[in-house]
Amino acid sequence: MFEGLWVVQFAGMEGKGGGVVVLTRGRVLGGDSAFTYIGTYQESTDGLQASALVQNFSPMVGNVLGISGDFTLSLKVTIAGEGVLQGEGSTPAAPGFGLKVRLTRRAKMP
């Protein structure tokens, strides 16, 4: 249902950013200019939940949560329109802080 290439946009306490993710067979694979995202997801009738290891490969670039180094991110998103998912993310590395997330599908898997 959600397999494909998605553009991800996010906003947190330290700013805004974006990247791309591929959702396929329960896996999340993606990244941006300084981080890779590798994890898993589970679909539901109204969206999905995901958990990903966010790894920094360019330490000179910070992230929107203000966390140094690598961390695990949990996401819960729901369907917000045709090819659009919206929701929130959180991490144990920054309790009490989170981010807003929007995914827009660019291509479906064949």
In the chain, where are the structural domains located?
A: 4-108
The DSSP secondary structure of 11-50, one letter per residue, reads EETTEEEEEEEEEETTEEEEE-SSEEEEEEEEEETTEEEE
Give the pLDDT mean for 6-14: 94
4-108 CATH: 2.40.128.380
In the chain, % of residues over pLDDT 90: 83
Structure tokens at 36: 């890779």
Q: How high is the pLDDT of residue 82?
A: 95
Tens of pLDDT, residue by residue over 33-65, are 999 999 999 999 999 999 999 999 998 998 988
pLDDT, tens digit, 9 for 90 and up, residues 49-108: 999 999 999 989 989 888 888 999 999 999 999 999 999 999 998 888 899 999 999 999
**Taking CA 37 as the corner, what is the angle to CA 35 and CA 43, rounded to the nearest 5 degrees?**
155
